[in-house]
Amino acid sequence: MSVKTKLFAILWIAGWMGVLSVLLLDLSLVLAALPITSGKPMPFPPLVAKLLSVIQTTVILSVAIFIGRQFAPKVGLRAPVAEAMAEGRAFSSALKRQIIPGLISGLAGGIVIIASWVLAKPFLPLAFVARAEEFNKLLPFLTRLLYGGITEEMLVRWGVMTFFVWIGWRLLQKGQGSPQAVYFVGAIAISSFLFGLGHLPLAFAMTGHLTASIVLYVVFANSVFGLIAGYL
């Protein structure tokens, strides 16, 4: 097995653990907590619906990891720990360099996310606040940790952000030399913004409508950590 294939497999397995963690969700309780689905019959049994979700996300994850594996080396982006594992090297030194920046950035990001909720809460519709807090309780810890912490990073950073860096470098710099910093900044901002927008359907499902305050909060709160993760 080539190093590139091993790298793909390592990243895919890590991301897929998060995909599988979705099976821990109690789908009946989740749907009951959303007004647009509450009381409506499900088109599929809960287990079938979750399996279909796993299959769909697995396909998207596979595409994202393939894109990252193909384009990251071209623009100077790397996955040091996974690459060390793929090459049969000790990954402890690569991991050691990431621990402190990761802890500091994670703490800062967590504070900003919590602060944004506290500050935005008085301006958000009461129904949205109540259902968001209820929905939050329904997410298992492993799903938050694995899907939110690993799978989404594979999708948004390794896949989408890397692709935007590459496309900017390829089209505007003709693929010559190292990509300019502006392509990284742009890719981080765009991928984070798209990630924030991607949470609006769930916000809509919680209330059946979107207000300006909901849109601003959801996009900002979900984009802000993307900026930090993209920088890392």
DSSP string, 173-203: STT-SSPPHHHHHHHHHHHHHHHHHTTHHHH
Question: Residue ranges of the domains in the chain?
Answer: 3-231
- Using a cut of 0.85, tell me whether the model's pTM lies above it: yes
* Joined tokens for residue 151: 């799978």
End-to-end, the C-alpha distance of the chain in Å comes to 30
Taking the C-alpha atoms of residue 151 and residue 60, their distance in angstroms, rounded to an integer, is: 11
pLDDT per residue as tens digits for the range 78-135: 999 999 999 999 989 889 999 999 999 999 999 999 999 999 999 999 989 998 888 8
Taking the C-alpha atoms of residue 128 and residue 106, their distance in angstroms, rounded to an integer, is: 26
**Rounded mean pLDDT, 48-67:** 93
Taking the C-alpha atoms of residue 205 and residue 106, their distance in angstroms, rounded to an integer, is: 28
Give the number of other Cβ atoms within 10 Å of residue 50's Cβ.
Answer: 17
pLDDT per residue as tens digits for the range 145-174: 999 899 999 999 999 999 999 999 999 999
Across the chain, mean pLDDT equals: 91
Taking the C-alpha atoms of residue 106 and residue 134, their distance in angstroms, rounded to an integer, is: 24
Helical (H) or strand (E) element with 124: none
Position 22: which residue type?
V
Taking the C-alpha atoms of residue 151 and residue 162, their distance in angstroms, rounded to an integer, is: 15
- Radius of gyration from C-alpha coordinates of the chain: 19
> Is the pLDDT at 36 greater than 70, yes or no?
no
> Is the pLDDT at 207 greater than 90, yes or no?
no
Taking the C-alpha atoms of residue 195 and residue 154, their distance in angstroms, rounded to an integer, is: 12
Position 142: which residue type?
L
Q: Which of 209-232 are b and which e, b meaning 16 or more Cβ less than 10 Å from the residue's Cβ?
A: ebeeebeebbbebbbbbbbbbbee
* Joined tokens for residue 180: 């300019």
